[in-house]
């Protein structure tokens, strides 16, 4: 279970005129995700979805609030007083709070993440990328190669093992990122706009693959997307973020039985509701009822 | 399978195996193919038609201008005189020994610099805590021009191989250090984050993310280091040795043997060119992944 309690993230930035400015990317967002759920986060561009996801993954410390995964605190929030801040700095002066330790590989939580721009390693071949995460998971050397083959086959990348990511298409890179995430057999997969760079037909295929995989393995999936239809088709619930500062505007359960049809009337109705929320947030007009 | 389109920017070609059979060549076969690939790569850019149209007229001018009396022959020895002098040095002047001695000094100085500067650069790039302790020291010391170290080095280490090694080391140290440091520090945080979610420890990050990411700038640092090491070689060999190309050069100056000076200059240039070609070749081999872009 993922529990995010009143997460706030503030970035202090210096703008081009050397004037300090601040951005509140996420403001007091609370969210509980049960095991095995498929949740989508939607919202306008730049409203803090990626930031929120990285906080869930423990890659950024929230300014305020805590994330618990299965009851375990992910990262302590940044201290608020100067005294506490000094103590925090002293404590983490050598290793940053998000480090996993000095020598031994060891994931802190059972999470895999697929980044908005995939972040597969360009200096490793497709196969080496997957072998690397298997190594981090502690799979004995002899078993890695066959396992890697299996995950690559799952995403349909067999035959491209020896290519470098720069030689792949956007969609193939995407699938490599997916294979890499699956290879660690995580309980939770966080995905940041995973299907943004592929054409509509491939996207539908990948969505169906993902859906099957989710139903077969019972993993928790949290996905950020801009594609409302994708969110509606896949998820158990859709979390709508408001524009900056990103707060959780609504959490809409999608109670349409599976298997779903992409063009079903229920989904279309939900879609209209979400769009009404968007419209209201953008223009401040109250078209939104219920 | 690995038919990568390898055309690195510097205009040299690295031919790569295309069939799996060839790719798995082992032993002498492999060595032979690597050497062949290196040679075509290194000399390929010299014997292109484009470059020859520049080089041949220049060489002809070099030969003809002094011969025709346009420039004084005593000050600018023609190409053939220089070549004859080189041949003479090979036969009677132990030229090979001079070159070997200089190469040895270079190799020791450069290796020491690499062995020390590379880990230090990685450590400073990786960890802000270490960086804050160490970087200011090097930033203060680096601007001292390496030749300015000569007098004090001679006094402290005496004239001899230790002083020569140290001076060459000093020339190569800072370029390698700062380029490694910068390359490691500039590692894209997204790659670090993506390795961290999967549980990578800091050591794994250094090994599998920081260093591969920084490789390009490390090689760049070594190239600059080689150039600086050559400068320091010439200076270092002015003192306390009877053998070495730099020594030969300053000796020729004392005896006013201009054609010998030119031979030495050509050898030093060729040494630098050759070492840098080796680095380019390694770079193309190691950073294969960049090539496809
Ligand atoms: N490291 C940072 N420093 C300063 N500001 C940041 C930083 N990261 C994000 N921001 C700001 O936080 C806000 C939210 O960014 P985020 O990347 O989370 O948006 P997003 O919802 O994922 O957008 P998109 O849908 O376009 O990917 C943006 O306004 C951005 O400018
Ligand atoms: Mg984003």
- pLDDT tens for A121-154 read 999 999 999 999 999 988 899 999 999 999 999 8
In a domain, B2, yes or no: no
Out of A58, A103, A121, the one facing B201 most closely (by C-beta) is A103
| Residue nearest atom 23 in ligand 1 by C-alpha distance | A46
Residue B240: which CATH number?
A: 1.10.3720.10
pLDDT at residue B10, as a whole number? 41
Same domain, B124 and B227: yes
Same domain, B206 and B271: yes
In a domain, B5, yes or no: no
In a domain, B9, yes or no: no
Cβ of A125 closer than 6 Å to ligand 1, yes or no, is no
Cβ of A9 closer than 6 Å to ligand 1, yes or no, is no
Q: Which helix or strand (DSSP H or E) is residue B29 part of?
A: helix B27-44
Domain span including residue B52? 22-76
Same domain, B228 and B117: yes
Are B212 and A123 a contacting pair at CB < 8 A?
Answer: yes
pLDDT tens-digit readout, B220-249: 999 999 999 999 999 999 988 889 999 999
pLDDT at B1 over 80: no
Looking at the DSSP bridge assignments, the partners of residue A8 are A64
In a domain, B15, yes or no: no
Are A124 and B289 a contacting pair at CB < 8 A?
Answer: yes
* Boundary residue ending a domain (B76, B102, B119): B76
pLDDT at residue B14, as a whole number? 40
* Domain count within chain B: 2
Same domain, B106 and B31: no
Q: Chain B contact for A176, CB < 8 A?
A: no
B133: left (phi over 0), alpha (psi -120 to 50) or beta: alpha
pLDDT at residue B24, as a whole number? 59
Tell me: ipTM over 0.85: yes
Same domain, B133 and B232: yes
CA distances from A68 to A80, A91, B6 (A): 20, 22, 49
Same domain, B72 and B107: no
Same domain, B179 and B250: yes
Residue tagged 């346009």 (tokens): B70
Task: For residue A241, give the ligand nearest its CA.
Answer: 1
Cβ of A45 closer than 6 Å to ligand 1, yes or no, is yes
Residues B34-41: contacts with CB under 8 Å, at least 24 apart: B37/B281, B38/B277, B38/B278, B38/B281, B40/B13, B40/B15, B41/B12, B41/B13, B41/B14, B41/B277, B41/B280, B41/B281, B41/B284
Same domain, B194 and B228: yes
In a domain, B14, yes or no: no
Same domain, B35 and B163: no
Same domain, B64 and B170: no
CA distances from B151 to A38, B175, B236, B247 (A): 72, 22, 11, 18
* Boundary residue ending a domain (B76, B93, B110): B76
pLDDT at B261 over 90: yes
Same domain, B117 and B41: no
In this prediction, residue B207 has a pLDDT band, given cuts at 50, 70 and 90, of very high
| Residue nearest atom 24 in ligand 1 by C-alpha distance | A45
Are A164 and B289 a contacting pair at CB < 8 A?
Answer: yes
In a domain, B1, yes or no: no
Count of positions (residues) in chain A: 290
Q: Which of A157, A160, A53, A49 is nearest to A113 (CA)?
A: A53
pLDDT tens-digit readout, A257-281: 888 888 888 889 999 988 888 888 7
User: CB atoms < 10 A from the CB of A268, how many?
Assistant: 12
pLDDT at residue B20, as a whole number? 44
Q: Please state the rounded mean pLDDT for residues B82-94.
A: 91
State CA B184 to chain mean position distance.
21
Q: Which residue has the higher pLDDT, B68 or B285?
A: B68
Q: Which of A87, A92, A168 is nearest to A126 (CA)?
A: A168
Q: Chain B contact for A241, CB < 8 A?
A: no
Residue tagged 């002899």 (tokens): A142
Q: Which residue has the higher pLDDT, B263 or A19?
A: B263
Are B199 and A137 a contacting pair at CB < 8 A?
Answer: yes
In a domain, B64, yes or no: yes
In a domain, B10, yes or no: no
pLDDT tens-digit readout, B151-201: 999 999 998 899 999 999 999 999 999 999 999 999 999 999 999 999 899
pLDDT tens-digit readout, B3-59: 444 444 443 444 444 444 445 567 788 888 888 888 888 888 888 889 999 999 999
Same domain, B89 and B149: yes
């Amino acid at each position: 279970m993922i529990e995010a309690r009143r997460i706030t993230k503030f970035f202090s930035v210096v703008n081009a005129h050397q004037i300090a400015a601040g951005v509140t990317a996420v403001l007091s967002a609370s969210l509980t995700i049960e095991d095995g759920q498929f949740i989508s986060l939607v919202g306008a561009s730049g409203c803090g979805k990626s930031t929120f996801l990285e906080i869930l993954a423990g890659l950024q410390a929230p300014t305020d609030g805590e994330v618990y995964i299965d009851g375990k605190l992910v990262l302590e929030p940044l201290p608020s007083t100067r005294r506490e801040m000094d103590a925090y700095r002293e404590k983490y002066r050598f290793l940053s709070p998000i480090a996993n330790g000095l020598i031994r590989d060891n994931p802190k939580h059972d999470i895999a993440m697929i980044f908005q721009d995939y972040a597969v390693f360009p200096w490793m071949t497709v196969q080496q990328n997957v072998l690397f995460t298997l190594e981090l998971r502690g799979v004995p050397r002899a078993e890695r190669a066959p396992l890697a083959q299996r995950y690559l086959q799952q995403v349909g990348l067999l035959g491209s093992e020896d290519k470098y990511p720069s030689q792949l298409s956007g969609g193939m890179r995407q699938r490599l990122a997916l294979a890499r995430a699956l290879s660690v057999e995580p309980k939770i997969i966080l995905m940041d706009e995973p299907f943004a760079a592929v054409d509509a037909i491939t996207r539908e295929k990948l969505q169906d693959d993902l859906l099957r995989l989710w139903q077969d393995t019972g993993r928790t999936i949290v996905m950020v997307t801009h594609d409302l239809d994708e969110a509606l088709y896949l998820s158990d619930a859709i979390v709508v973020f408001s524009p900056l500062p990103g707060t959780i505007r609504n959490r809409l359960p999608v109670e349409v039985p599976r298997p779903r049809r992409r063009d079903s009337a229920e989904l279309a109705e939900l879609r209209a509701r979400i769009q009404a929320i968007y419209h209201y947030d953008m223009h401040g007009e109250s078209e939104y009822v219920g | 399978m690995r038919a990568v389109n390898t055309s690195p920017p510097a205009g040299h070609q690295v031919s790569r195996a295309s069939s799996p059979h060839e790719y798995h060549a082992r032993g002498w076969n492999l060595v032979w193919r690597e050497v062949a690939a290196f040679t075509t790569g290194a000399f390929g850019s010299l014997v292109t038609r484009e470059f020859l149209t520049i080089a041949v007229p220049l060489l002809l001018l070099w030969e003809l201008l002094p011969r025709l009396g346009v420039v004084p022959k005593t000050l600018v020895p023609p190409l053939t005189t220089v070549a004859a002098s080189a041949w003479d040095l090979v036969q009677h002047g132990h030229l090979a020994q001079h070159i070997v001695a200089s190469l040895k000094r270079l190799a020791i100085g450069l290796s020491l610099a690499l062995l020390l500067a590379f880990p230090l650069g990685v450590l400073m790039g990786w960890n802000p805590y270490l960086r804050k302790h160490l970087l200011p020291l090097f930033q203060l010391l680096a601007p001292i021009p390496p030749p300015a170290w000569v007098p004090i080095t001679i006094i402290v280490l005496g004239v001899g191989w230790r002083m020569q090694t140290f001076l060459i080391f000093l020339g190569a140290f800072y370029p390698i250090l700062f380029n490694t440091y910068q390359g490691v520090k500039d590692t894209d945080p997204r790659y670090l984050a993506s390795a961290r979610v999967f549980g990578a420890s800091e050591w794994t990050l250094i090994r599998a993310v920081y260093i591969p990411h920084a490789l390009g700038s490390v090689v760049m640092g070594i190239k600059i280091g080689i150039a600086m090491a050559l400068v320091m070689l010439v200076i270092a060999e002015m003192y306390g040795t009877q053998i070495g190309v730099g020594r030969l050069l300053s000796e020729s100056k004392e005896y006013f043997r201009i054609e010998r000076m030119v031979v030495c200059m050509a050898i030093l240039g060729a040494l630098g060119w050759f070492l840098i070609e080796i680095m380019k070749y390694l770079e193309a081999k190691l950073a294969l992944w960049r090539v496809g872009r």
